[in-house]
Amino acid sequence: MDEQHQIKTFSLDPEFIASHAKDTHAQTQSLLSIPRPPIIRVGDVLGASFAYGMPGFNLLPAEFSETAKEIGFRPVCFVRSGFPPLLIISTPFWLGPEGFVRLDANADGNFHIRTLMTDGADIVVTKTRPESSHPTFYIPATGDFKADYLELIEVVRAHMDATGATPIFMADKLDVRAVFRAFNHLHRPTWAIVLFLWLDLIFLSAIAYLAYYAST
């Protein structure tokens, strides 16, 4: 990590990050208490999520996996989420060296570099503007992963100066899961909740029909 990069980011000291991550649970619980439409609340209650495993850098698109390593991103966990009995989404996460930037990506080139702030704002670099009813600061991906990452850091700093909000730090997989849950509560679009619940209904109806058919 070069000196200029260190100056542009926050402290890279693991002890500093761990000390700030002690506030993560309280900060995310505060965001989860923000009023949202009933269908989102249903999603919060029924949505199962848990952190597990350790993703490899081979899951990142080849064009920036080495750059992510050089910056200091580290694999943390997968977070599996969905609606019982379907757990249909499994997302791999890597954390940046500053402790508050999370990266998720897949082999087809879709990725997000993002930070969740204590005021609920989502600061994100991605190819396509996210759909969200909560404040989102969208940074279009340029194809230069390091430049995009540094731009996100600058936007985080500017948002802190403008609002007094701070980034939510993560030190381990439980912190990542907590941030992921709070992010979904605020930023997951309503249509996604409806779709997942509809898929669940179809699945349960099929199980009930097969059980009834087998019993007759």
Pairing type for strands 102-105 and 111-116 reads: antiparallel
**CB contact at 8 A, 103 and 96:** yes
- Helices then strands, counting H and E runs in the chain, come out as 8, 7
- Which amino acid appears at position 4 of this protein? Q
**CB contact at 8 A, 75 and 57:** yes
Rounded alpha-carbon distances, angstroms, from residue 112 to 1, 40, 65, 115: 22, 22, 13, 10
Closest by Cα among 174, 182, 179, 159 to 36: 182
Domain span holding position 99: 3-215
- Number of domains, the chain: 1
Ordered per-residue pLDDT tens for the chain, 216 residues: 444 454 456 889 999 999 999 999 999 999 999 998 887 887 777 776 789 999 999 999 888 999 999 999 999 999 988 766 666 778 999 999 999 999 998 766 689 999 999 999 999 999 988 888 788 999 999 999 999 999 999 999 999 999 999 999 999 999 999 999 999 999 987 777 777 777 777 877 888 878 878 877
The predicted pLDDT at position 160 comes to 96
Query: Is the full-model pTM beyond 0.75?
Result: yes
